[in-house]
């Protein structure tokens, strides 16, 4: 399987996670710290299980430190993401992740010496442009959505983690990096563990098992997405891999429109007034960008 296939699988899984996260945050979870608590527990457990299965492989001191800090950065970005999803439509919040390729392209060129063709860089810019279109509340007024700043912070953290992951893959296999990355999320998780547990407990007492089931499902898919990303990054340019994963709003738009039309009680997004056509035009930029980079 090529890096393109791995990246597209990761994109689809990311879109599914976004839908589930919005469902949880809009209907059950009053405090994003509750979702973050589930995220931290699943991430730490998946890291420990992977390490046990692998036989606790050793890494040199520097790669080990980078792997743990990378996991911490990914963990902190997830908290920013949850806070953004809490206050904004998922189809306007999640696409901001597509801005990450701009940061990744810059960091990869500086730290990894990646050099792409002009057409490939154009593809990265088209993906970023589509994401910006989706994030705007009003094109004429250029008013950004409320979740923008949280997502930009998340994007910066993710970008550093993505480039670090590519660096680490030069000295270890994807599963070893996965294990230590997940273990590293404990660094960002522990300071909020107590408040997160209280928020989750309150949500479960009020709404029951669905809170745990859907939150756990989303975070489990997040771990699966990570391993597909690492396998794609092992053979592909990290700028192109990350940019291709950034087309997940294409799948997200499909999922949210279908749910809004056929299952509005589950998830309802703003679809009137030609907004769908504007979103579709933005998605076209993402698809065109993906075609150029692949």
Looking at per-residue pLDDT, the higher value among 268 and 68 belongs to 68
Phi and psi based region of residue 270 (left: phi greater than 0; alpha: psi -120 to 50; beta: remaining): beta
Looking at per-residue pLDDT, the higher value among 5 and 275 belongs to 5
Q: Distance between CA atoms of 76 and 158, rounded to whole angstroms?
A: 9
Q: What is the pLDDT of residue 245?
A: 86
DSSP state of 110: I
- Are 290 and 244 in contact by the 8 Å Cβ rule? The answer is yes
Given a cut of 70, whether residue 276 has pLDDT beyond it is: no
**pLDDT tens by residue, 94-142:** 556 667 788 888 889 888 888 888 898 898 888 878 877 766 655 555 4
> CB-based contacts of 54: which residues, under 8 Å, 6+ apart?
175, 176, 179
DSSP state of 95: G
**pLDDT tens by residue, 204-250:** 998 888 888 988 898 888 888 999 999 999 988 999 998 888 788 77
Per the structure, how many domains does the chain have? 1
Domain limits for position 124: 3-293
């Amino acid at each position: 399987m090529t890096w393109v296939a791995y990246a597209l699988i990761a994109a689809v899984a990311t879109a599914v996670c976004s839908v589930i996260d919005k469902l949880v945050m809009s209907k059950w979870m009053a405090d994003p710290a509750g979702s973050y608590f589930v995220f931290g527990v699943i991430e730490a457990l998946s890291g420990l299980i992977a390490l046990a299965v692998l036989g606790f492989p050793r890494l040199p001191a520097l790669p080990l430190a980078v792997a743990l800090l990378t996991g911490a950065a990914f963990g902190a970005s997830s908290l920013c993401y949850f806070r953004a999803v809490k206050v904004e439509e998922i189809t306007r919040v999640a696409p901001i992740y597509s801005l990450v390729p701009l940061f990744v392209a810059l960091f990869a060129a500086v730290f990894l010496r990646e050099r792409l063709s002009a057409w490939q860089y154009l593809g990265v810019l088209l993906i970023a442009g589509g994401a910006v279109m989706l994030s705007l509340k009003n094109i004429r007024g250029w008013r950004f959505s409320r979740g923008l700043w949280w997502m930009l912070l998340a994007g910066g953290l993710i970008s550093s983690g993505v480039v670090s992951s590519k660096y680490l893959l030069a000295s270890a296999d994807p599963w070893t990096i996965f294990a230590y990355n997940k273990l590293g999320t404990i660094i960002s998780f522990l300071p909020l563990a107590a408040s997160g547990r209280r928020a989750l407990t309150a949500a479960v007492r009020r709404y029951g098992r669905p809170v745990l089931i859907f939150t756990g499902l989303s975070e489990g898919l997040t771990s699966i997405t990570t391993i597909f990303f690492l396998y794609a990054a092992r053979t592909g340019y990290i700028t192109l891999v990350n940019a291709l994963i950034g087309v997940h709003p294409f799948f997200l738009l499909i999922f949210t429109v279908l749910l809004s039309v056929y299952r509005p009680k589950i998830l309802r997004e703003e679809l009137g007034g030609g907004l769908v056509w504007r979103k579709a035009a933005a998605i076209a930029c993402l698809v065109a960008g993906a075609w150029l980079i692949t």
